[in-house]
Amino acid sequence: MHVPGLKKNLISVAMLEDKGYDVVFSEGKAFLRSKTTGETRKIGVRVRNLYQLHVDGCAAMAGKAEGLVSRDDGELWHKRLGHLHHGALKIMQQITTRIPKGTLAQSDQCNGCTLGKFAKATFHKKDSRATTILERIHTDMYGPFSVVSTAKHMYYVIFVDDFSCKCWIFFMQKKSETYSKFCEFKALVEKESGKKVKALRSDNGGEYISDEFKDFCKAEGIRRELIAPHNPQQNRVAEQKNITIVGAAWAMLHDQGLPLHLWAEACNIVVYVQNRCPHRILGMSTSEEAYYGKKPNLSHLRIFGANIYMHVMKDARKMLESTVEVGIFVGYTDTLHNYRVYFPDSGKTIV
């Protein structure tokens, strides 16, 4: 069934039967008989333990069966054209006079293509979605970033609710803080929703499989959904969210010409805004509405990186000094209509 060093092509008797022929082996000879016409012709003789096909003797009959005679020619041009796939070979036949007509039958997968082009099977894009909030949480850690943030962070971790697609982001100086951030997240969402986190899906990173993390989830009755190693597609919800967050954050930073150390502020505002935007899975709804049950208020949104003129109190300035200080808008707070403002000269961020 498997002969890696085989240098000759083989003919499948089962395929011949499917094409309408009977094959008879008798006294060292092989005969091909058409089931429709009854015509019989000798097609080969036995050479040691194999029957060798006589192509000339059976061309009139076997030529009707797809791929019998043209297999060698098809493989020849397949290899000459750099192992071009057989669909493109048929197109090549139409645009060049060099490839003979009728010689492009698709043969079995060649050994070179198997070894050089082998790819994973496609992952299922649809998992069974959660039916309520906190039923399943997707999480992933991102970093380290090439630039330290203004608060000396190098990483962030996100938690995405499978039902509402709402995302929470926490910034960290070290990967080992992931466990404490999960505890912080769990306490926050369970307190405000009155529900419990039931399942947590993550990769097999060391920050997720520590004994401390495992023992905590076991004690809290949280089901762990650890993906198979080297298969990030199984954690696609969190992986795709990371791509969206970082892409949008980079766009905002470069659009306003801001320093890269504001990446944490940019990522934070991306999550804040996207939670209040429609999601493909949710149709016309937003993550905030799916999670809290009410439409979000967008009246306070501003452009990231825009100038903000903040009033300077009288006791904080000298006579004739400007009554305002110019800063840069870098984010929102949990309190509506409060803003985070970054001052480049001092490097401080205040509310």
Q: Which two tokens stand for residue 125?
A: 């894009």
What is the Cα–Cα distance from 209 to 155, expressed in whole angstroms? 18
Report yes or no: 159 and 197 within 8 Å, Cβ to Cβ.
Answer: no
Summarised one tens digit per residue, pLDDT across range 207-250 is: 999 999 999 999 999 999 999 888 888 899 999 999 999 999 99
Summarised one tens digit per residue, pLDDT across range 96-138 is: 766 665 544 454 567 777 777 777 666 565 567 899 999 999 9
What is the Cα–Cα distance from 140 to 208, expressed in whole angstroms? 9
Report yes or no: 312 and 343 within 8 Å, Cβ to Cβ.
Answer: no
In residues, how long is the chain?
351
Q: Which two tokens stand for residue 226?
A: 């650890």
Residue 306 main-chain phi, psi, to 5 deg: -70, 150
Helix (H, G, I), strand (E, B) or coil at 130: coil
**Percentage, residues of the chain above pLDDT 70:** 88
Report yes or no: 46 and 28 within 8 Å, Cβ to Cβ.
Answer: yes
Give all domains of the chain, ordered by start, each with its CATH number.
13-112 (no CATH), 137-292 (3.30.420.10), 307-350 (no CATH)
Q: What is the 3-state secondary structure (H, E, C) of 4-70?
A: CCCCCCCCCHHHHHHCCEEEEEECCEEEEEECCCCCEEEEEEEECCEEEECHHHHHHHHCCCCCCCC
Report yes or no: 200 and 222 within 8 Å, Cβ to Cβ.
Answer: yes
- The answer, as to whether pTM is greater than 0.75, is no
